[in-house]
Structure 1
Amino acid sequence: MGRDKKFALVTGCGKGGIGEALVLEYTRRGVHAIATVLPNEDSDHLTAAGITWFPLDVRDEKSVIHLKEEVLAVTNGYLDCLVNNAGICYTMTAIDTDVNAVKRMFEVNVFGPMQMVHHFHDTLIRAAGTIVNIGSIGGVVPYMYGASYNASKAALHHYSNTLRLEMSPFNVKVITVISGEVGTNILKNDVNRKLPEGSYYTPLATEFKDHVTRTPKTTSRFVYASNVVSQSLRSSPVPWLWTGSATAIIRFLDMFAWRTIWDFFFYREFNLDKVKKAHLANAKKDD
Structure 2
Amino acid sequence: MSKKQPKFALITGCGQGGIGEALAKEYVRHDVVPIATVLPTESTEHLAEVGIVSFPLDVTIEESVVALKENVIRLTGGHLDFLVNNAGVCYTMTAIDTDVEEVKKMFDVNVFGPMRMVHHFHQLLIDSGGTIMNIGSIGGIIPYVYGSSYNASKAALHHWSSTLRVEMAPFSVKVLTIISGEVGTNFLKTDRHRTLPKESYFSPLAEEFEEHVRRVPCTKSAAKKSPEQKC
Contact 2:185 2:217 in 1 (8 A): no
Counterpart in the other structure of 2:140: 139
Cα distance in 2, alignment partners of residues 176 and 208 from structure 1 = 30
TM-score (norm 1): 0.75
2:183 is equivalent to residue 177 of structure 1: no
Cα distance in 1, alignment partners of residues 202 and 216 from structure 2 = 22
Q: CA deviation at 1:3?
A: 4.6
Moved over 4 A (4+): none
Q: Deviations over 1:164-187 (max 9, x none)?
A: 000000100000011011110011
**Residue aligned with 2:111, SS:** helix
Larger relative helix fraction: 1
Cα distance in 2, alignment partners of residues 219 and 32 from structure 1 = 29
Q: Specify the code of the residue in structure 2 equivalent to 1:4.
A: Q
Counterpart in the other structure of 1:108: 109
User: Which structure 2 residues correspond to residues 1-287 of structure 1 after superposition, within 5 A?
Assistant: 3-218=4-219
Q: CA RMSD in A?
A: 1.5
Cα distance in 1, alignment partners of residues 172 and 77 from structure 2 = 20
Counterpart in the other structure of 1:281: none
Q: Specify the code of the residue in structure 2 equivalent to 1:102.
A: V
Gap change, CA 1:123 and 1:3, over 3 Å in 2:
farther
Gap change, CA 1:72 and 1:88, over 3 Å in 2:
same
Structure 2 stretches lacking a partner, 5+ long: 223-230
Contact 2:133 2:178 in 1 (8 A): yes
Question: How many correspondences in the alignment?
Answer: 222
Q: Specify the code of the residue in structure 1 equivalent to 2:50.
A: A
Cα distance in 2, alignment partners of residues 96 and 131 from structure 1 = 35
Q: Specify the code of the residue in structure 1 equivalent to 2:177.
A: T
Contact 2:161 2:175 in 1 (8 A): yes
TM-score (norm 2): 0.93
Q: Specify the code of the residue in structure 2 equivalent to 1:136.
A: S
**Residue aligned with 2:175, SS:** strand
State percent identity of aligned pairs: 66
| Structure label with greater radius of gyration | 1
Cα distance in 2, alignment partners of residues 130 and 219 from structure 1 = 30
Q: Deviations over 1:145-198 (max 9, x none)?
A: 000000000000000000000000010000001101111001111111100011
Contact 1:181 1:219 in 2 (8 A): no
Cα distance in 2, alignment partners of residues 217 and 51 from structure 1 = 29
Q: CA deviation at 1:219?
A: 5.6
Contact 2:12 2:37 in 1 (8 A): yes
Gap change, CA 1:2 and 1:170, over 3 Å in 2:
farther
Contact 1:182 1:220 in 2 (8 A): no
Cα distance in 2, alignment partners of residues 52 and 216 from structure 1 = 28
Counterpart in the other structure of 1:267: none
